[in-house]
Structure 1
Amino acid sequence: MRPVPDTAAYLVGRWSIDRAVTDERSGARGTFVGTAVFRRTDDELLEMESGEFVWAGTANPASRTHRLVPRADGTVDVLFADGRPFHHLDLRTGRWHTRHPCAADRYDGEFTVVSQDEWHLLWRVEGPTKTQTLTSVYRRIHTVS
């Protein structure tokens, strides 16, 4: 676990993503492989994630976008692309737990900074129609000039 004094500054750049998705009820498993780009736009960071999601043997393109609003204390507020609040993110100790209610579902997230170039994200989803675990590893992509 590595403390990060400025969450936004840490995240800026390109990251590879390897994600495993498990449906805890059926045992079905899927994967997502792609990239996340965090770039500054005015006073926010824009996170654009894209790649390929494979579920039940079928591959489909997948993408999502989040907005991150930095705070003076080194933390950020994470918003959905349309501006709705998602969760707060504080990596100053190197680890952060958060909860997001989504309709009847509950998302419990755990962020862990492993190094300057790697962090992990675990989401546990509980609800009346789904129980899932999403485990992601983000690794910084260094560009050669």
Structure 2
Amino acid sequence: MNAFWPVPDVLAHLAGHWRVERTVRDLASGAEGRFGGTTVFSPLADGGLFHQESGTFTWQGVSRPAERALRFLPGTPPGTADVRFADGRPFHHLDLTSGRYVADHPCAADLYRGEFTVRDADHWRTVWRVRGPAKDLVLVTEYARGA
């Protein structure tokens, strides 16, 4: 039995509001942080989605507001997305037609490897593993539909 839920159109699937819970672990130091908040995927004029995440990030006992923005644009082949930073720089491709996708993003001397998995219509997850000369991190994010 397949543990992943296939998504024929990633943009249609992601549109709307999601609750977000993220853990961030620094494997080198053992430090751990948490983010809790919401992500909204809003329509863009070009057929893509604007991803706006906001909430509270707690690191080493200190909590502060945190946010980020991305653009999910229609990809090739249809049903996929090209994910870009808010300023338009490329981030990664995303194809969830099998319910699972692995993407790499080189950033200076670091490599970000993300695994995206969809459990059902209302739950998906990302696991980013970040490795580099000064980074050794694991970021696990759980998304649940609804605000």
TM-score (norm 2): 0.95
Rounded Cα–Cα distance in structure 1 between residues aligned with 2:66 and 2:109: 24
Q: 3-state DSSP class of the match of 1:77?
A: strand
Q: 1:94 aligns with which of 85, 92, 99?
A: 99
Q: 3-state DSSP class of the match of 1:73?
A: coil
- Whether 2:135 is the aligned partner of 1:108: answer no
Q: 3-state DSSP class of the match of 1:83?
A: coil
Matched with 1:67 is 71
Return the offset for 1:16: 0.4
Length, aligned pairs only: 142
Return the offset for 1:124: 0.2
Rounded Cα–Cα distance in structure 2 between residues aligned with 1:91 and 1:10: 10
Q: CA RMSD in A?
A: 0.9
Q: Structure 1, residues 115-134: CA drift from partner, whole Å, max 9, x if none?
A: 10000100000011110000
Q: 3-state DSSP class of the match of 1:67?
A: strand
In structure 2, the gaps of 5 or more residues are none
Return the offset for 1:70: 1.1
Runs of 4+ in 1 over 4 A off after TM superposition: none
Q: Structure 1, residues 90-143: CA drift from partner, whole Å, max 9, x if none?
A: 00000000000011110000000001000010000001111000001000006x
Matched with 1:58 is 62
Q: 1:137 aligns with which of 137, 142, 147?
A: 142
Matched with 1:29 is 32
Return the offset for 1:73: 1.6
Matched with 1:38 is 41
In structure 1, the gaps of 5 or more residues are none
Instruction: Using the TM superposition, name which of 125-134 and 63-72 deviates more.
Output: 63-72
- Whether 2:7 is the aligned partner of 1:11: answer no
Return the offset for 1:46: 0.1
Matched with 2:51 is 47
Return the offset for 1:65: 0.2
Q: Identity percentage over the alignment?
A: 52
Whichever residue aligns with residue 10 of structure 2, its letter is: T
Matched with 1:117 is 122
Rounded Cα–Cα distance in structure 1 between residues aligned with 2:22 and 2:115: 14
